[in-house]
Chain A
Amino acid sequence: MSDPRTHINPKGVDLRLWRQVFSSRSLALGLVLTLIFTGAALLSLIWTPYDIETLNIANKIKTPSAAHWLGTDHFGRDILSMIMVGARTSIAVAVVAVGIGMTFGVPLGLFAAARKGSVLDELIMRANDLIFAFPALLIAIMITATFGASAVNAIIAIGVFNIPVFARLTRSGALTLWQREFVLAARVAGKNAARISFEHILPNVTNLLIVQGTIQFSLGILAEAGLSYVGLGAQPPIPSWGRMLADSQTMISFAPHMALFPGLAILLTVLGLNLMGDGLRDLFDPKLRRARS
């Protein structure tokens, strides 16, 4: 270990962090891809190259050109514009689903760890196991079977499946922290389990949560695309990448561009998020960082 006193300037920490972000190629690439798609989604709120709500049958199924960079679909809509608006749906569904997973999963995990071995801990963990038996698709199928299809279904289905993911991760991270002596020191200082969980445990599992969050985010985008593709997610007229692919399927032999670009959009977004997640994990985990060098 180098002399620990060399980093006196507390702001220096951030500088080093940013240097590391850009020295890691996968993190930088992931960040750029994610920013492009989030940027496109945000931009679509105020501007898209073409209006996607007006149909122009005369202009249908055009291959990419200067006017329509990614071509048009079977209703003559601009595919680039559709992808931009579709990004909004994908990102919104995935963000809310990760949000649901974290809001319920993290407190459950913290609680289970704080009361390790209790009946409640056991109950929480068994319930988690049970949810793992229901893939998001099955939940969506059950909701759709009784309430009909909608984007909200997709959010709930993916979100519910995220809860045990975060609960387990938080619990296992928290359990190792509860063994640490600084938690014992906090107990000696008279702090109760709730206070320790929020002051000492939660801040030390955030890195784990951020990394898992990016991964669940990318899985959420894949899941949303799948659900919309089979008609269990976003319903027309809301554009979504999965629906665009479903629409293109029957026309794939003569209009492959309709299938190509939405799929690429999914691939690149998910790839970006995964690269970012990997990069962040390397950045946060000093053990891995050492092993890489």
Chain B
Amino acid sequence: MVRYTLKRLVSLVISLAVASVVIFLAIEVLPGDPAAYMLGVNAQEDTLAALRDQLGLNGTAWARYSTWIGGMLQGDFGTSYTYRTPVAEMIGDRMQVSLPLALMALTLSTVIAFPAGILAASRRGSFADVLIMGITQLGVAIPNFWFAMLMVLVFAINLRWFGAGGFAGWEAGLLPGLKSLTLPAIALALPQASILARIMRSSLLDTLTEDFIRTARAKGLSRAQALRRHALRNALIPVLTIIGLQFSFLLAGAIIIENVFFLPGLGRLIFQAISSRDLIVVESVVMLLVFAVVMVNFAVEIAYALVDPRLRASR
């Protein structure tokens, strides 16, 4: 287990290092002169030079890269060109919206998907199975931002149960904050829950055809007992893979959904930064999001080993 974790940890660090190089190259090196890009075509040579100086763009690419990484490792993400505030501070503010939103969506989708998938698999071919499969088929196909718009139309504009957008802020208390994140979280969670429920179902059905399920039944376990005690944990392995992969979709989805609901999260920040050509912010937020995805995948790999003793022992 220790060896396994160490090995994953090494590959995690390598992934992050390579990802940071890719991001740095894409944003700071490929386009030529970032300063010229940020100021537009009509910039004066002396303002350009001043900006280059301010952004530390005068060194070699390697020197700039190491400054950027070194800074991030110490929590210094640079200074936003447009807002003139430390990027770390901006990210910190925005995380107060984005992180709870992602957690709510992930919890919601798992809480919906697991029981639905298990029910569908254990009562295969029943009315419940057909219904769940039908709903999830729609859930997989629905664009989440459109679903979000429809919910705004129904629950905010017509029924007036929720606000149509914006964030109440945590200062006003936990409930108003959670309330303004409810619709966005549902919009994010529904398509993910649909995918997860379908995977859960098919993985369980696959596991139920395994020989060891027959062995369990021959021991005297009922169908339900065999499913609960033997199929479920085995079926979890592919489901975990999907949860890990889904996180990146969840993140991307969150960026879009924040726009539907005008939530001041990382997604809004990144679009504001793009339109104001604030490359420093774009660079750091992208790196942060990639970091989140890689960390979640690491967690999933550790979870694999907890579920499967074969992984713990080998390699």
Q: Identify the A interface with B (CB < 8 A).
A: 126, 129-130, 132-138, 141-147, 218, 222, 225-226, 229-231, 245, 248-249, 252-253, 256, 259, 262-263, 266-268, 270-271, 274-275, 291
Contact = CB atoms under 8 A, between A and B. Distances in A.
Nearest to A221: B143
8 A-B pairs with least C-beta separation: A263-B146, A137-B252, A270-B141, A271-B141, A146-B31, A135-B252, A135-B248, A145-B282
Contacts of B157: 252-253
Interface of B: 11, 14-15, 18-19, 22-23, 26-27, 30-31, 37, 137-138, 140-146, 149-150, 152-153, 157, 205, 209, 245, 248-249, 251-253, 255-256, 259-260, 270-271, 273-274, 277, 279, 282, 286, 289-290, 293-294, 297
Question: For chain B, what secondary structure do more than half of its interface residues adopt (helix, strand, loop), or is it mixed?
Answer: helix
Contacts of B274: 141, 144-145
A274 B140 CA distance: 9
B286 A142 contact: yes
B143 A132 contact: no
From B23, B137, B145, B146, name the one whose CB has the most chain A CB atoms within 10 angstroms.
B146
Contact of A141 (B14, B141, B270): B270
Nearest to B283: A145
Given A138-B286, A138-B289, A142-B282, A271 B27 contact: no
Given A133-B293, A230-B256, A225 B143 contact: yes
A141 B289 CA distance: 12
Contact of A226 (B30, B143, B150, B282): B143
Contacts, number: 126
A145 B279 contact: yes
A266 B149 contact: no
Contacts of B153: 252-253, 256, 259
Question: For chain A, what secondary structure do more than half of its interface residues adopt (helix, strand, loop), or is it mixed?
Answer: helix
Contact of A271 (B30, B138, B256): B138
B256 A263 contact: no
Nearest to A139: B26
B193 to A, nearest CB: 16
Nearest to B156: A253
B282 A138 contact: no
A159 B176 CA distance: 40
A134 B11 CA distance: 16
A234 B22 CA distance: 25
Contacts of A222: 143
B277 to A, nearest CB: 8
Contacts of B270: 141
B137 A275 contact: yes
Given A137-B255, A138-B290, 8 more contacts: A133-B293, A134-B19, A141-B270, A142-B282, A145-B27, A145-B277, A222-B143, A275-B137
